[in-house]
Structure 1
């Protein structure tokens, strides 16, 4: 009888142990599942903001492709215009903007672009902007005879005063059907007198062609540049202004490094005799034949801009053969423009800004221009 009792007790102990172990095993499974789900939910919930990729947004206000001013874009994204992507190697900040829609200030063109919150004066400047980027899309439509068609500006120096002209615009342009596009930069004269309608740009090629190379008719494109830059190909620029002199450096793997220098406080174009042949070809025939102030941009506050300033728009080329593209805008419908390639998109991987102690608030520029057109 004692043996039977012992055996039954032993069986009871084994049974209890089995139940306990089974229960622990189930709890372990539940715990792992819960941890996995919790991690998954955490990963899904986490957003990588543009300010996580390039942490310098205290220095800028962000203008979106609908004409609105976001202000400082820390911990901000907008899936239509401004967000991050990962190409499998790096995180990038995306600036995207359609051919047509609401615009900022007096411009005819949409932009998703950063504008510096301080301005500096070229004569006393010691300021720098650098960026590494790749252009992912330019407009699929536009009159080939119009110099601005199929182009986007990816970096600028802008005046906050006077005529609010632009001593620097860095362009990327690629015609449909070409595998290579061009990078070039512009100097816009700071027109003498009160009439700014006669202002013009002078274009300098970096890789590929300059602004003046256009099609022979609306749908016929020039020859593809042999030393150009493809969509999705990285390049970098450095803009430095010190004591009135602008220094530019452009680099890209597999391409020759290019450097340029331009005086911003003494004009090269202060008389009619100084107007270059390129301007005689592009701008003089449409009445843009002005001359520049002798001291150029001296005495005017200037500031940097960075992003995607779409140069292609829906205005008729009859208005201005250089700047009005006659491109498809679907009446400003952004979704339709994005669906058939009528937009500009630029990805930035890195960027930096150096602001001199002599810089001052640029709030006056935003007060004048924070209106949607």
Structure 2
């Protein structure tokens, strides 16, 4: 039913006469012409081919004043992934990838095969925290845009110490086809992150920071033949990219961690089933809470300024000071884990959204709640 609803929505705003023009105009800079075309479609046919573009922008329902958006496309043809700034986001929506549904819930959709950011093999429709908001005076690496741990040697330069991210959501769809189902990330989507900054200036200090690693990635993963999926979170050791010890340490919430392939059954979370997470970084410690009706609430704690895991065991392979020297930011949305690199051979998808939608080659995540802020 979820896939049928999405397909019906897709067909409702894809009138054949307007489709070629519409495909070339899906960018915020082209909004005036899109509005004009929408009016023409209504007057000529009684139904707009771009009905979704006439709805309420998500920022009118969710507080998105400290977020920018990355999209899985290059609509302006500049060979770079499209990003929507904080200011633009306040009136922006995309009829396929980023919109409000009929319940005013925020929908993120990401095809398997799509345009990606330079440092990633995976497409995303994802929000990136920007703590300075719409102030264009600060770039994404500026201290005013990011948070730090209390142990950071220059913590007082940053917008805040730690912070929180709350989300209530459901995953409606994950990629169903891959040639490499044994890969840990197969059939999964990342729905929330803490990302450390990739920063040449920090790397130059030679303290082992600035690599741009991820102290937190929250996943949902479901195999096509399973009734339910698993929710788990990963911590990435804070090491340089080429270090063979730079791996993700995975922790199961409901069902399996990312290496498990058994059917989680009643312990898992079904597609379309709502659950909640809260990420709170206070001083140096990351506190995680996961809750869902009918499932046990799970909590975890990990100090991000040392190399002790949530089980209290020292990880000798990790940086001894964790992420203490990094600046960080939250991310949330649909970060599809289907690898798009041609040489990987892992990702099935054509890159044509109409076809990929019909084949199930995409991820879809729906948020009914999403908010963030400083920790009291």
RMSD (CA atoms): 2.4
In structure 2, the partner of 1:187 is 235
In structure 1, the partner of 2:94 is 78
| Whole-angstrom CA distance in 1 between matches of 2:363 and 2:196 | 24
> What SS does structure 1 have at the residue aligned with 2:65?
helix
| Whole-angstrom CA distance in 2 between matches of 1:59 and 1:179 | 37
| Whole-angstrom CA distance in 1 between matches of 2:345 and 2:57 | 33
The structure-2 alpha-carbon separation of the partners of 1:91 and 1:158, relative to structure 1 and needing over 3 Å to count, comes to: same
Q: Report if aligned partners of 2:302, 2:308 keep a CA contact under 8 Å in 1.
A: no
| Whole-angstrom CA distance in 2 between matches of 1:46 and 1:150 | 33
The structure-2 alpha-carbon separation of the partners of 1:256 and 1:173, relative to structure 1 and needing over 3 Å to count, comes to: same
Matched residue pairs, number? Answer: 280
Q: Report if aligned partners of 1:149, 1:325 keep a CA contact under 8 Å in 2.
A: no
The structure-2 alpha-carbon separation of the partners of 1:194 and 1:252, relative to structure 1 and needing over 3 Å to count, comes to: closer
In structure 2, the partner of 1:366 is none
Does 2:266 correspond to 1:226? Answer: yes
Q: Report if aligned partners of 2:307, 2:314 keep a CA contact under 8 Å in 1.
A: no
In structure 2, the partner of 1:155 is 192
> What SS does structure 2 have at the residue aligned with 1:91?
coil
| Whole-angstrom CA distance in 2 between matches of 1:135 and 1:340 | 17
In structure 2, the partner of 1:361 is none
Counterparts of residues 86-235 of structure 1 (less than 5 Å): 86=102, 90-117=103-130, 118-123=145-150, 125-142=161-178, 143-161=180-198, 162-191=210-239, 195-196=242-243, 198-214=245-261, 222-235=262-275
TM-score normalised per structure 1 = 0.70
Q: Report if aligned partners of 1:53, 1:349 keep a CA contact under 8 Å in 2.
A: no
In structure 2, the partner of 1:48 is 56
Query: Structure 1: which 5+ residue stretches go unaligned?
Result: 1-39, 215-221, 276-289, 358-373
TM-score normalised per structure 2 = 0.70
Query: Structure 2: which 5+ residue stretches go unaligned?
Result: 1-45, 74-80, 131-144, 156-160, 199-209
How far 1:79 sits from its partner (Å)? 1.2
Q: Report if aligned partners of 1:93, 1:347 keep a CA contact under 8 Å in 2.
A: yes
Counterparts of residues 26-45 of structure 1 (less than 5 Å): none
Does 2:286 correspond to 1:246? Answer: yes
In structure 2, the partner of 1:68 is 82
How far 1:194 sits from its partner (Å)? 7.3
The structure-2 alpha-carbon separation of the partners of 1:194 and 1:348, relative to structure 1 and needing over 3 Å to count, comes to: closer
Q: 2:359 aligns with which of 327, 340, 355?
A: 340
| Whole-angstrom CA distance in 2 between matches of 1:177 and 1:248 | 30
- The structure where helix makes up a greater share of residues is 1
> What SS does structure 1 have at the residue aligned with 2:128?
strand
